[in-house]
Structure 1
Amino acid sequence: MTEGNFVDYVKLHITSGNGGKGSAHLHREKYITKGGPDGGDGGRGGHVIIRANPNMWTLHHLKFKRHLRAGHGGHGSKSRSTGADGEDVYIDVPLGTVIRDTETQDIIKEITEVGQEYIAAEGGMGGRGNWHFKSPTNQTPRYAQPGIEGQEHDVTLELKVLADVGLVGFPNAGKSTLLSVITAAKPKIADYEFTTLKPNLGIVEYRDFQTFVMADIPGIIEGAAEGKGIGHRFLRHIERNSTLLFLIPADAPDIKAQYEILLDELRRYNPDLLDKERLIAISKSDMLDDELKEELKVELDQQLNVPYLFISSVAQQGLQELKDKLWQMLND
């Protein structure tokens, strides 16, 4: 999937169908000139239904389809014939999609399970035919109910990527390189900041044919929670990851300071993110000799209260140890 095809935010205007009108027909046939009421009911208007599709990873199919309208119910007819129900409209979305009211921004529903369906706009009920209204005192009612109008809503769909491990780090920290080395994903990699503009997913193959999913989230900068940079647009993708892997390059001026900035951005965006399991990976550690690495370990043991590892994606160092640690954290 190319970056341009990854769409994680769309606004839709949805309209359900109107219910059909009930019939006020009176029974007529040869030799029966004044039969009783036999008008049928109107059909139900079509629903607009949002359903989970586990084979989808993006909302790209809705990018240019912003208005969705269900079919109207058919009108009732003679011989108590009920009108046809309006055609339902199904909106397929990937797992992890959040449905919001566009006006209030309130969360209406979250689509997280395979087979889950949610009626976002309910079709109007069909009107009842005149045969419902006959009585001993009114044996030939000449009226029937009109159908109820459908609903009209503006909804916003937001995708929060479902992954086991979320990569968190500053731009150009080596997240895309790590993902490309330990998974089959092919993210864009270059020697400049904000190379990654969209989240990338990769499947990490572990021992005995077991796997877990890792997500490369676009780089976060200081102030991202307030809307600076582009990282704030993708902070929501971290919410669904069960484990956070903080990637900090070995040549960073202050590893602890960078970790604290990243942690503070997550805290300001959503304090619940701090409840997730955390692991720090010191990337580009092939630049360090054994002596420098030992000095850094002594320093980090005193400063950090979370586990950390030294890795190098390019030199293929520490990657199996990283997989082992992540697998242990995911399954504890």
Structure 2
Amino acid sequence: MHHSDQTADDTADNTFSADERAETETPSAEAHAELRRALQRRPRTVPPRWLYDDRGSDLFDQITRLPEYYQTEAERQILADHSTMIAEMTAATTVIELGSGTSDKTRTLLDAFAARGMIERFVPLDVSEATLLDAAAMLGERYPDLDVSPVIGDFNQHLHRLPTGGTRLVAFLGGTIGNFYREERTAFLGALADVLDPGDWVLLGVDLIKPVDRLLSAYNDSAGTTDAFIRNALSVINRELGGNIDVGNFDYVPFWDGREERIDMRLRACEPERARIEALDLDVELESGEELRIEISTKFSQGRLLAELAEVGFADGAFFTDPANDFGIALVRRQP
């Protein structure tokens, strides 16, 4: 069922076995059980995976272009400034990108690796098959000598699908690591350390701590795009799981949690909400004012991030920021 050992040849034509496709495109029994538990706990949560159907991916893409949302451009600037150094320091022959989406910023990185002439393959991993295939086709044209081997998967569950061999650089960009709660983050980084060999590299993008008003406006944009993105999770649940949640009965409420140094994005029920989710065999009753926690976005200092990475066996690299010091990218190596 798992194809982490697929050769480049049998993924280059963008075909995936039916069971692999079924396993990742239809959220697994595990994802259903996780959501059922999350909705029954107090406070109630919705795991972020439910944000990303095709519409959710498109809305997030729109968010990255908003004037208030500085992260994407800041990260792009860092990659433009430092990709050549990253290629030289790592000398990686395989570049893997987790949650690759459109692989947009990755082109800057791949250009530097291609210019250096060592890279042999690029492995984008993403849950959205459509996005992955578009990106793979585009990258195949741009880098005719590169094996582009897409892997459909969820980076929380399918790290074992990553191909082995050569020196690998795993890129996890966009500040996505900030969406994990602390325990989840430790578990994820530990799992990543487990699938990498000593000498492999990780390139990790994080949003840096900054004034709260600036952070809040980035997650509560005037166009209402973030509101639509967060709310979309309920629409996805309704459609995929036979739910009848009244999506309009919720206000989007983002706020700053200073203790945990994170933005917390929630949906608050305006009126009492009684909903049925058939596929989970679950009735959910929310009181007026009760909140669903949908996503967090943790902000980091360089020291905090490098300490967390060292705890699980990543060290010895570099830390890059944009000129305004808004965003950071850590480059660290798996230790023996």
Q: Scaled by the length of structure 2, what TM-score is found? A: 0.28
More helix by share: 2
User: Which has the larger Rg?
Assistant: 1
Q: Scaled by the length of structure 1, what TM-score is found? A: 0.29
Higher RCO (Cα < 8 Å, 6 or more apart): 2
